[in-house]
Each structure stands twice: as C-alpha cells, then as structure tokens.
Amino acid sequence: MKNFARPRGAAVLALVLIGVLTGCSAARSGSSTSAADRSAAKDGSALSQAAPQAASGVDQATSDAAGRQVITTGTAQLTVDDPRKAASAVVALVEGEGGRVDARKEQTSAADRDAFAQLTVRIPSGDLTSTLAKLEDIGRVDQVDLSAQDVTGTAEDLDARIRALKLSVARMEDLLSRATSNADLISAENALTERQGKLESLQSQRARLADQVALSTLDITLRTPGNAPEPTTHGFLGGLAAGWHGLVATLGTVVLIVGVLLPWLVFGGAITLAVLAALRWVRRRRAPQPGAGVPGPIAPPAVAPPAVAPGQTGAGRVAPPAL
C-alpha cells in the first residue's frame, strides 16, 4: 500500500504545479491585454482632451460654456468745464479698472465752435457699473444708454465647430504620416491645409467674441456747458418750448436761405433788366418814323370839266332863250 501511495502523491503534486503555471500565464496575458486597453484608452482620452480647448487668449470667465455670454455696448454724455482735462481723467479711470482706450478725439474751443472730446473705451464687463458711477466724479452725467446682446448660442456653436475641426486635423495628420504614395501625400496635405485654415478662422472669430464679452464698449462724449444738450421737459411747457425752438430754428433756416439766394437774385435781376433794355432799343430802331422818306397816299389825277357851247348848259341841254 505504501508503494502505491507515493506515485499517487507525485501525480497530484504534478497536477497542482501545472495548474499554477497555467494560472500565471493567464494572468500575464490578461495583464498585457489590460495594459494595451489602458494604452488605447489613454491615447483616445488624450485626443479627446485636446478637442475641448477654446481659442488661445480666451478669458476664463468668458470661456465657461455653462454661463451666459453677453456683449454690452453703450454711450455716455458728460458736461465738464474742460473737455481735454476730463478726457485725461477718463483715460486714467479706465486704465485703472483694467480697460483700455480704443479711440480718442479732442477739439479745442474757437470763435465758431466749442471744445469737446470723444473717447471709445473698453471696460471689463464686471466693472462697468462701478466705472459709470465713478464718472460722476469727473463731470455731470447727462445721459447713459446701454444695450446687451446674448451670444451664448454663437459661442457654443463656435466651440463645437472648433472641436470637430481639431479632431479632423488630428486624423489628417495621422493619414499624412502613413501616406505611402505621392498622390496620397499631396491629397492629405491639401486636405490638412484647408482644415487648418478653417480652424484658424474659427479660432479667430471665437477670440474676438470672447474679447467683446470680456470687455464692454462705451462711447463717452465730453462737452462744455455751452454746447451740452438741454434736458428734456415733458408736458405742456415742454411742448411749448419745443415748438418755440422749432420756430426759431425754422426762421433761422429761412433767413439763411434768403441770405444765400439774395446775391444771385440781384445778379439775375440786373441781367434781366439789361436784356429787356436791349430788346426795347432794337425794337425802336426797327420801328418806321413818320415823314422820313416814306411816300404818302397818291391823289387821283384832276379831270377838266367838258367845254360847254354857247346856248348849252349842263350835259347838252339847250338853255331857254333870253327875254
């Protein structure tokens, strides 16, 4: 019995060793397969992570697709004593808030015009309200007009198109790297160039849109009290004042037109009188003068009466004898 027990134990031990070895090989193959899967997944995630990136230079506050993106523009009119000095104060205020000045125009006072200044400034959207409040320290704010445009849909559409084109460009670069013939190489290069151009155009549009959202545009006009717009008055007095100003403006326009036309009217009247005088002189030269060589009416020739014989009167009648 003991002799047969040893071979059986050796067989069992061999089977156990075979099972252990088989499990190790399976584990190794499984680990290699999972590593390959993880590598493929890593490559796919890297490609997908490159797509959602927005255009370069986009502000973090405005690139959030979940929030609303609004473009704010407006105008402001201020009455100041010195427009040039006030313009410098506005520039300092805007730059202090993190904005910039895109346009600036100044005009000094003259005999026929008053001094004024105009500025186009870009202010961070979050600081627009506080900046408008600080303009009160520079001058009297007569009018403020703001308008907002929601461009969230446009921004999301641009982001989606940019992601799609980035994936397309990545695929074309992969095809270009694997091209074997000249024809395939040229075709892949042309397609890649076209898609890269479209991608850059979309990225430029997205950057401009992000800049408009991040910085609000404000046109500021600085005027002196002499040429500042008068406040609007409502009601009967307002209508009466508006009618009076309209009448004065109309009369002023009429006087201006008459002053422009008066020299021309005088010049035209002088020419007309000269032409009429010349016509009258020509007519007088052509008119006939009485007794100046013009024959009068011709008188009929005189006819002598017939001779009457003695003893006859009239036409052949015999006169009675004398007693």
Question: Which residue type does 168 have?
Answer: S
Residue 93: CATH number of its domain: 3.30.70
pLDDT at 186 exceeding the cut of 50: yes
Q: Is residue 258 part of a domain?
A: no
DSSP states along 103-127 = EEEEE---SS---EEEEEEEEEGGG
What is the structure's pLDDT at 290?
59
HSE-up of residue 196 (Cα within 13 Å, Cβ side): 10
Q: Are residues 116 and 216 in the same domain?
A: yes
| Total residue count of the chain as it appears in this document | 323
Segment 53-69 mean pLDDT:
49
Asked whether the beta carbons of 207 and 58 are under 8 A apart, the reply is yes
Q: Is residue 255 part of a domain?
A: no
pLDDT at 176 exceeding the cut of 80: yes
Q: Are residues 31 and 88 in the same domain?
A: no
pLDDT in tens, 84-114: 999 999 999 999 999 999 999 998 877 677 8
pLDDT at 164 exceeding the cut of 50: yes
What is the structure's pLDDT at 12?
43
Q: Total structural domains in the chain?
A: 2
Backbone angles phi, psi at 254, to 5 degrees: -65, -45
pLDDT at 21 exceeding the cut of 50: no
Which of 120, 125, 118 lies closest to 98 in space, CA to CA? 125
Contacts of 247 (CB under 8 A, 6+ apart): none
Rounded CA-CA distance 296/294 in Å is 7
Domain that holds residue 126: 66-159+204-231
Q: Are residues 208 and 107 in the same domain?
A: yes
Chain-centroid distance, C-alpha 4: 105
What is the structure's pLDDT at 64?
44
Please give the helix or strand (H or E) that residue 208 lies within, else none.
Answer: helix 182-214
Long-range contacts of 111-118 (CB under 8 A, 24+ apart): 114/223, 114/224, 114/226, 114/227, 115/82, 115/83, 115/84, 115/224, 116/83, 116/221, 116/222, 116/223, 116/224, 116/227, 117/83, 117/84, 117/86, 117/87, 117/221, 117/222, 118/219, 118/220, 118/221, 118/222
pLDDT in tens, 212-266: 999 999 999 999 886 655 555 566 777 787 788 788 888 888 888 988 888 988 8
Label residue 16 by pLDDT band (50, 70, 90): very low
Q: Are residues 24 and 153 in the same domain?
A: no
Burial of residue 231, with CB atoms counted within 10 A of its CB: 0-12 exposed, 13-18 middle, 19 or more buried: exposed
Q: Are residues 83 and 43 in the same domain?
A: no
Label residue 56 by pLDDT band (50, 70, 90): very low
Chain-centroid distance, C-alpha 159: 26
What is the structure's pLDDT at 227?
62
